[in-house]
Amino acid sequence: MFSGIACTVVGLASFFRAAVNFAGVPRFFFLTFIGFPLIAIGSAALALGYKQEIMQYNKNESVPVFNETGAEIAPAVKSIASAVREGLSAEDAPGAAVCSCGTVNEAGSKFCKECGRPLSRKCPKCGNTVDMDSKYCNLCGTEL
């Protein structure tokens, strides 16, 4: 890369010296066309050689920013999560069973988690499992 810079400087100096002095054709201007590709190749080689150090520097500069941002938004995320948690009640859950005592039980529960009463019963005619608050069997229509 440094030889490319040297060639470019010599070539450009020759060009401008000839232009200012009206000396005609610059003698070393061709070095500019050699210098620019050497600068590009040298820069690519340097970047490749220092890739690990560059990546480590970027990591060391970025991680504290990410950590600080996370610490700043954590209270907002917690308040949103608690608002969502409060907004969803067990009664809204599909299949939730409400006992006669008023306790909301998870879907598929057979007994109340508060009072222990059964949450379903069997139809006397067909034997189908029916919710406690049903007045009729949903399979055969028998009045319970």
Torsion of the alpha carbons at 44, 46, 47 and 53, rounded to the nearest 10: 170
Mean pLDDT of 71-88: 82
Residue 106 has pLDDT above 60, yes or no: yes
Task: Quote the longest CA-to-CA distance of the chain.
Answer: 117
- Structure tokens, 12: 């450009």
Beta strands in the chain (DSSP E): 97-98, 104-105, 120-122, 129-131
Mean pLDDT of 99-118: 80
CA distance linking residue 82 with residue 55, whole number of Å? 38
Average pLDDT in the chain: 85
Instruction: Note whether 46 and 2 are within 8 A (CB).
Output: no
pLDDT at 31: 94
3-state secondary structure of 95: coil
Residue 85 has pLDDT above 80, yes or no: no
Q: What does pTM read for this prediction?
A: 0.38
